[in-house]
Amino acid sequence: MSTKDKIERFRGGQKLITNNRARSGVELGLGIKKPVRSISGVTPLTVVLAPKKCSHGTCIYCPGGEHVPQSYTDKSPAIMRAMKLKYDPYEQVKVRLNVLKLMKHPTDKIEIIILGGTFLQYPKNYKYNFIKKIFDALNNKDSKNLEEAKKINEKAKHRCVAMCIENRPDNCADKDIKEMLKFGCTRVEIGVQMPDDELYRKTNRGHNVQDVVEATERLKNAGFKLGYHIMPGLPGSDKEKDLKLFKKIFKDEKFRPDQLKIYPCQIIEDSPLAKTYKLIKYTPYNEKETKEILIKMMKIIPDYCRVMRMMREFPKEKLIKGTEKLDLRKDIEEEFRNKGLKIREIRMREIGFNKKTLDLNAKIKIIEYQASNGKEYFLEFINKEDILFGLLRLRIFDKTAIIRELHVYGQALNLGEEGAESQHIGLGKKLMQKAEEIAKENGFNKLKIISGVGVREYYKKLGYKLDDDRVYMIKKL
Ligand code: SF4
């Protein structure tokens, strides 16, 4: 960092660095209007895999497998839709695009979310064909192969700007990572539940904590945005243990994910737990206990992490025991706001989830933290009240500087559409410039970025080029 940069101590031993120029506030410009229907800038579209059991067996709490996609029930709306279409990815994308259009959602920037099991364990042909068909449907054009489909999508009407794959920590070897990069994946979610070998054994996870640690480092080094699935209340755990392990996830630099989905354990029909819970005398947390633990967890989550979801939405008729209230998050957040409690987690600070009149003067703040044998720079565009307009994640390790995420918040607008949302007033460009400055100050003459296929054109305009492997966008600094 330049000597002009001022370094202030920040919570939890992190450093908050405020650049002098940024400190005076970068004007966002007049006329930003609050998003009417904010969805963080992109429109998600889920595509469900055909049923296939996970190769290690079944985790104790997990329904599905043989005839229903693993970890889902045949009464889940997304699964019922996919079933009707025989799990054909092309048809699923086509149908969803039409529905989204009818609902007046923008469909030019799509995040593809692949769910229903462990995708990386499917046969090679199935995987490549699955992804190719998704791109073909977005492109409205058949292609010869995946590479051609991706190329067409760079300028297509419906661009895949991000892709998320759910995965297991023990399916993140170098070859798996190469494959995910080839598919155009930008975000990986792994099931961590609670990082404890004894709990893994009791719940038949089939991997250990070391797998989580290694997967975390490899995925971050590859530039993926990384999400953990967290499950408090597992058989063999209790509130004290859960909280201790949850704290460890952020205290210990070997973990520190970018995102979380927190799904307290429930007993669901067709899961092994449904058959054994009486025998092992297991009771999941009740509503009060669930709320209590979630509140405590939320208070621990640092600025750089976003809680994507809380509570799994299993259909009520499939729930044998557990919390029925699925919108607990709303109550919890309301409670935080009423009490004026400052929660650092990203989503609560996003422009789209804050209703009050906004102060539009924002500046870039930089949080530095160590993670998985590398250094992370978390850049955020915020105003005085901590409302978040955009963020960037830069990782530096060994001889590499890589941007893992660039995200500008606001309502999703169609590409090229006039609008005064934060997405369209150059915040992304300013964040990129700052990241390039930091990379240079750290002695790098090259910066790479993991890019959704549909965002390559944007980075080209900023001087980035697709690398020889056709995976990352790279710029000489
Ligand atoms: S790894 Fe995930 S999908 Fe597979 S059995 Fe376990 S919870 Fe279910």
Q: Which of the listed residues 349, 381, 408 is the one where a domain comes to its end?
A: 349
Q: Is residue 115 part of a domain?
A: yes
Nearest-CA residue for ligand 1 atom 4 is 54
Q: Is residue 186 part of a domain?
A: no
Find, among 64, 34, 61, the residue nearest to 52 by Cα: 64
Q: Which of 12-16, 194-198, 316-320, 420-424 has the highest mean pLDDT?
A: 194-198
60 within ligand 1 shell (Cβ under 6 A): no
Residue 453 has pLDDT above 80, yes or no: yes
Q: How far is the CA of 115 from the centre of ligand 1 (A)?
A: 11
Residue 335 has pLDDT above 60, yes or no: yes
Beta bridge pairs of residue 72: none
Q: State the Cα–Cα distance between residues 233 and 231, nearest whole angstrom.
A: 7
59 within ligand 1 shell (Cβ under 6 A): yes
Lookup result for tokens 């590859």:
222
Q: Are residues 219 and 162 in the same domain?
A: no
Q: Is residue 143 part of a domain?
A: yes
Q: State the Cα–Cα distance between residues 8 and 14, nearest whole angstrom.
A: 9
Q: Is residue 93 part of a domain?
A: yes
pLDDT score, position 316: 87
Nearest-CA residue for ligand 1 atom 6 is 59
Q: Are residues 238 and 342 in the same domain?
A: yes
Q: Are residues 343 and 202 in the same domain?
A: yes
Question: What would the two tokens of residue 247 be?
Answer: 């704290």
Share of the chain above pLDDT 90, in %: 76
Q: Are residues 335 and 207 in the same domain?
A: yes
54 within ligand 1 shell (Cβ under 6 A): yes
| pLDDT tier, 356 (very low <50, low <70, confident <90, very high otherwise) | low
Quick one: average pLDDT of 383-391?
A: 90
Q: Which of 61, 76, 115, 118 to mutate to test the pocket of ligand 1 (most atoms within 8 A of CB)?
A: 118
Q: Is residue 182 part of a domain?
A: no
Q: Are residues 202 and 345 in the same domain?
A: yes
168 within ligand 1 shell (Cβ under 6 A): yes
Quick one: average pLDDT of 321-338?
A: 92
62 within ligand 1 shell (Cβ under 6 A): yes
Q: Which of the listed residues 98, 132, 167 is the one where a domain comes to its end?
A: 167
Packing angle, helices 77-84 and 89-102, rounded to 10: 120
Backbone φ and ψ for 175, nearest 5 degrees, come out as -65, -35
Q: What is the CATH number of the domain that holds 24?
A: 3.40.630.30
Q: How far is the CA of 62 from the centre of ligand 1 (A)?
A: 6
In total, how many domains does the chain have?
A: 3
Q: State the Cα–Cα distance between residues 163 and 130, nearest whole angstrom.
A: 13
167 within ligand 1 shell (Cβ under 6 A): no
Question: What would the two tokens of residue 350 be?
Answer: 């996003």
Q: Is residue 173 part of a domain?
A: no
Give the range of the structural domain holding residue 163, as residue numbers without chain letter: 34-167
Helix/strand/coil for 320: strand
Ligand 1 atom closest to Cα of 117? Answer: 3
Q: State the Cα–Cα distance between residues 350 and 348, nearest whole angstrom.
A: 6
Q: Are residues 204 and 251 in the same domain?
A: yes
Q: Are residues 294 and 162 in the same domain?
A: no
Quick one: average pLDDT of 408-429?
A: 58
Tell me how crowded residue 248 is: count the other CB atoms within 10 A of its CB: 15
For residues 135 and 160, the answer to whether their CB atoms sit within 8 Å is: yes
Q: Are residues 223 and 329 in the same domain?
A: yes
Using the CB atoms, write b or e for 45-65: b if 16+ within 10 Å: bbbbbbbbebeeebbbbbbbb
Q: What is the CATH number of the domain that holds 287?
A: 3.30.750.200
Q: Range with the lowest mean pLDDT among 120-129, 316-325, 346-355, 364-373?
A: 346-355
Quick one: average pLDDT of 274-298?
A: 96
Q: Is residue 177 part of a domain?
A: no
The maximal CA–CA distance of the chain, rounded, in angstroms, is 64
The DSSP secondary-structure symbol of 438 reads H
Q: Which of the listed residues 294, 314, 349 is the one where a domain comes to its end?
A: 349
pLDDT score, position 427: 87
pLDDT score, position 65: 63
For residues 222 and 252, the answer to whether their CB atoms sit within 8 Å is: no
Q: Is residue 339 part of a domain?
A: yes
Nearest-CA residue for ligand 1 atom 5 is 58
Q: Are residues 284 and 403 in the same domain?
A: no
Q: Are residues 160 and 56 in the same domain?
A: yes
69 within ligand 1 shell (Cβ under 6 A): no
pLDDT digits (tens, 9 = 90+) for 223-257: 999 999 999 999 999 999 999 999 999 999 999 99
Quick one: average pLDDT of 454-464?
A: 95
Residue 321 has pLDDT above 50, yes or no: yes
Q: State the Cα–Cα distance between residues 322 and 327, nearest whole angstrom.
A: 14
271 within ligand 1 shell (Cβ under 6 A): no
Q: Are residues 59 and 45 in the same domain?
A: yes
Q: How far is the CA of 118 from the centre of ligand 1 (A)?
A: 7
Q: Are residues 376 and 399 in the same domain?
A: yes
For residues 285 and 323, the answer to whether their CB atoms sit within 8 Å is: yes
